[in-house]
Amino acid sequence: MIPLVVAHFTICLAVQVGSLPPVGPTAGESKLAEAWYLRASRRLPGAESALVKRAQSTLLGNLVTGTAWAPYQGIMPALGTYRGVWNWDSAFHSVGLALWDPKLARDQIRILFDKQLPTGALPDVIFEDGRIVTDFTKPPVMGWAIAVVDRRSPDADFLKSIYPKLIRLGEFFEQHRGGDKDGLFFYGGAHAGMDSGWDNAIRWDGGYIDSKPDEKRLWAVDLNCYMVSHYRSLAIIARRIGDRVGVKKWVGKAEKLAKQINDRLWDDAIGAYVDRDRVTHANGPALSPVAFMPLFAHIAPPDRAARLAKLAADPTKFYPGMPCAAYDTPGFDSKGYWRGPTWVNVAFFAIKGLRDYGYSDLADMMRSKVVGWMEQNEDSLYEYYDSRSGKGLGARDYGWTSTFALSFVFDWKNDHLTWLFGATPKDKAADDSR
């Protein structure tokens, strides 16, 4: 029997972008997940081993059994700061937890879907005292997380139960966040910044952050890529549970949206994907790491990836820390919450995308910088980091920082988190030339 995560190295990417990759390892293999994780952790270099131990300890240290989400155990983002279970945090937590505890990982998903709203949206947060915030939601990363958890530890019964709920979640974004009407998606609700998870980011300056009418919205690069991920995840799940019609439907939706992103959100003068005003079609207020999300989703043409790599290597833009706004952005603040620090989840998506497109040296250098900051701040894994000095900032003992610390170690040189997107166009072109 091949250990679970080791088995992933033997699974090839699909040759065609529009096709589905192979189904993951068997349920029998999944029983070895925890044993594999422990063995792999022991083989790590000293600094990475210490980082992994801190990440696991942080996630488990944020575990709370509360009446608000009974009978499940929930992981809070940070016990001293965020007393509740948050939407996309829980998805990210599940990705890390599934390395050794797939049941606890699925608990994080069940907590939110058990509170799914009639519209199909998930709550933004379920507080420890039972209050629920529904004025806005969070990015649709649950599908991706569910697919990753299932690949780490397959459970077809769980997929069958969550599949219709995941479909409803996608329908919410289609009906209430522009998809059906525009062909592209925007963040909305009572507060677009909160809806996006990028609360006070520069990308929402100029009246976009809390606009009530949908006329003042930005088609957001990351949201549209998350929706590609959502459709690809539904296709994977449909295949796993035998819904052949669904497979074709979801792959078709993913490909159609990918074309819209490439046709309408690329700025050739800048050489980047940009948020764009849905009425004026003007670029959004800031160049940010969302420009690289089409790389993570494997939908950017190779020539555009090359231009994005130049931006990533530019010290006036994103090198070395992949800050949440380009270093030369007016109003940039390397310590200012979402105004310019490095957020590890955002940085991971961008840098991993660069690596998947073959810019390994650049990506490895940027990874070393971000991972180095987490290692150097030995007292805690922080909410975010000063993108110039690397000093840890915000909440201490932060959950999703822990997950992406694990991802930078265990999921860096493989396709554990990106196999569902199929081959990159770069890989497909190389294969077609043989």
Amino acid type, 93:
H
Main-chain phi, psi angles of 30, to 5 degrees: -65, -25
In 3-state terms, what secondary structure has residue 59? helix
**230-256 b/e (C-beta count within 10 Å ≥ 16 → b):** bbbbbbbbbbbeebeebbebbbebbbe
Residue 42: the pLDDT is 81
> Which helix (H) or strand (E) covers residue 354, if one does?
helix 344-356
Instruction: For residues 197 and 125, give the distance between their C-alpha atoms in angstroms, rounded to a whole number.
Output: 12
Positions of the chain with pLDDT under 50? 1-19, 21-30
Instruction: For residues 153 and 197, give the distance between their C-alpha atoms in angstroms, rounded to a whole number.
Output: 28
Instruction: For residues 130 and 136, give the distance between their C-alpha atoms in angstroms, rounded to a whole number.
Output: 17
Residue 405: the pLDDT is 98
Instruction: For residues 312 and 291, give the distance between their C-alpha atoms in angstroms, rounded to a whole number.
Output: 10
The first and second tokens of residue 131, run together, are 């209050």
Predicted TM-score (pTM) of this structure: 0.93
The first and second tokens of residue 2, run together, are 């091949």
Residue 212: the pLDDT is 84
Other C-beta atoms lying within 10 Å of the C-beta of residue 61: 16
